Amino acid sequence: MLEVSASFGWLGVLVVGVCTKNCETTVNRVLKTVDRGLEEFFPGEDKLIVVSDGFSKDHTLEIAGNTPTKNRKSVVTQEGGPGKGNGVKTILKIAYREGARALTLVDGDLLSLEPVWIHNLFCPVLRGKDLVVPLYVRHPFDGVITNQVAYPLTTVLHGKEVRQPIGGEFSLSSRFIKKVLAHPLFPEKFGVDVFITTCGIAEGFKVVESVLGRKEHTSTRRYENPRDLLIPMFYQVVGTMFELFLYYREETRRVSKIEKVERLGKTRVGRVGEVKVDVDRLLEFFWEDWEKLYYHSPQAGFLSPIKKEIEDSLEKTEFSFPVGTWAKCVFLGLKNYEKAKKQTLDVLRVFWQARYISLVLETKDLSPEEVEKEIQSQINIFWRYRSVFL
């Protein structure tokens, strides 16, 4: 754990923002845990808990409002329409109006939140950093978008290796809050997490990783049916990443090496919850999309330089879609994106599914630590093709 200081004694409120949507089974525990963390590690400080609700259809708002806390609490319905980005932006605006010197964000569906997370997220900002991104112990098949796209692509485009750029839990300094609120590409939906990470790196802010421990959240339970959650999330997250690539294109061209960001805390190997993957069902979805969005679709023409490589890999007896082929798809997609945004994402979505299935099959007999090494090894492959295709 990072060194504890009883009080930092600086002017300005510490704000914890909690984004919720249909979190009636978890929000009570999340709020109590946040409250305990603030009381235990930051006694005597001015503190505020903000719940920003994304139009829940269950009893989340009522439960959040009725949960007793020792610290001030504000429960609001987010501004704008549905989408996590709007929820986060609502919290950022409140934090800015309150004169927050630091803001920590946590998701309302967390099952594994501990009071010490609040400490480990806030402390680096209170000591001069601008953005704290989380590092969790997660099941290797969790982070379906993180492991296949967000982690390798953010790293090689922007030159900073952040293992979990769409983690969900962050801490922001007052000056970084001001920057992201003014950014023209602030997304309305799931892309907000990778937006925060990318903005911090590309704009030259002081970014660090903080080790939090095991992460489990209720949305993981919906991974068994990707069309319910993950496919919409893919469009939002990857679309945001590609838009940010266009926005920061000049900064990206100046990247000549990859650096690890500073990591605070010790990474521990721990038990994680099981993530069930129905490979047969995923294969069924993949082949349906392959026929519709790739094989019989003119919009996949941007992949013509590797058409034979793609089809040869998928004709093997045992399903396989190598990471090198996937990396080429991603970079060809980046080149094509500005000309045909939706169509490019439609095609990449097909092969993102293929790469995830292939990873599951390739690593089914490996330990979580061995799978993690395989995931990290993607960086060298993505870096190799970055110079070829960009």
Residue ending a domain, choose from 264, 291, 324: 264
Assess whether 329 and 220 both reside in one domain. Answer: no
Assess whether 233 and 293 both reside in one domain. Answer: no
Predicted pLDDT of residue 273: 67
State how many domains the chain has.
2
Whose tokens are 């991974």? That residue is 223
Measured over the CA atoms of residue 83, residue 89, residue 92 and residue 93, the dihedral's sign is negative
Q: Residue 75: left (phi > 0), alpha (psi -120 to 50), or beta?
A: beta
Rounded Cα–Cα distance for residues 52 and 352 (Å)? 31
Residue 78 lies in a domain: yes
Predicted pLDDT of residue 5: 42
Assess whether 313 and 165 both reside in one domain. Answer: no
Residue 306 lies in a domain: yes
Residue ending a domain, choose from 216, 236, 264: 264
CA dihedral 209, 214, 219, 220 (to 10 degrees): 110
Assess whether 285 and 362 both reside in one domain. Answer: yes
The answer to whether 157 and 256 have CB atoms below 8 angstroms apart is: no
The values of phi and psi at residue 376, to 5°, are -70, -25
Assess whether 288 and 260 both reside in one domain. Answer: no
C-alpha closest to that of 248 among 119, 145, 390: 390
Count of other CB atoms within 10 angstroms of residue 50: 24
Query: If DSSP codes are grouped into helix, strand and coil, which group holds residue 14?
Result: strand
Residue 9 lies in a domain: no
Going residue by residue through the chain (390 aa), what tens digit of pLDDT does each one get? 444 344 444 579 999 999 999 999 999 999 999 999 999 999 999 999 999 999 999 999 999 999 999 999 999 999 999 999 999 999 999 999 999 999 999 999 999 999 999 999 999 999 999 999 999 988 888 889 999 999 999 999 999 999 999 999 999 999 999 999 999 999 999 999 999 999 999 999 999 999 998 888 776 555 556 677 789 999 999 999 999 999 999 999 999 999 999 999 987 655 666 778 899 999 999 999 999 888 878 899 999 999 999 999 999 889 999 999 999 999 999 999 999 999 999 999 999 999 999 999 999 999 888 999 999 999 999 999 998 887
Residue ending a domain, choose from 229, 264, 299: 264
Assess whether 223 and 291 both reside in one domain. Answer: no
DSSP 78: P
Number of H helices, E strands in the chain: 16, 10
Assess whether 103 and 200 both reside in one domain. Answer: yes
Rounded Cα–Cα distance for residues 246 and 368 (Å)? 35
Assess whether 213 and 303 both reside in one domain. Answer: no
The answer to whether 241 and 194 have CB atoms below 8 angstroms apart is: yes
Assess whether 233 and 290 both reside in one domain. Answer: no
First to last CA, the chain: 41
Predicted pLDDT of residue 268: 66
Assess whether 143 and 176 both reside in one domain. Answer: yes
The answer to whether 109 and 222 have CB atoms below 8 angstroms apart is: no
Residue 2 lies in a domain: no
Assess whether 223 and 286 both reside in one domain. Answer: no
Rounded Cα–Cα distance for residues 18 and 30 (Å)? 8
Assess whether 225 and 301 both reside in one domain. Answer: no
What pTM value is reported for the model? 0.94
Residue 274 lies in a domain: no
Residue 3 lies in a domain: no
* Biggest CA-to-CA distance, the chain: 65
Which range marks the domain in which residue 220 is found? 14-264
Predicted pLDDT of residue 223: 52
List, as own/partner pairs, every contact residues 247-256 make where C-beta atoms lie below 8 angstroms and the sequence separation is at least 24, other chains included. 247/184, 247/185, 248/158, 248/198, 248/202, 251/158, 251/202, 252/157, 252/158, 252/202, 252/390, 255/156, 255/157, 255/158, 255/159, 256/159
Residue 269 lies in a domain: no
Residue 334 lies in a domain: yes
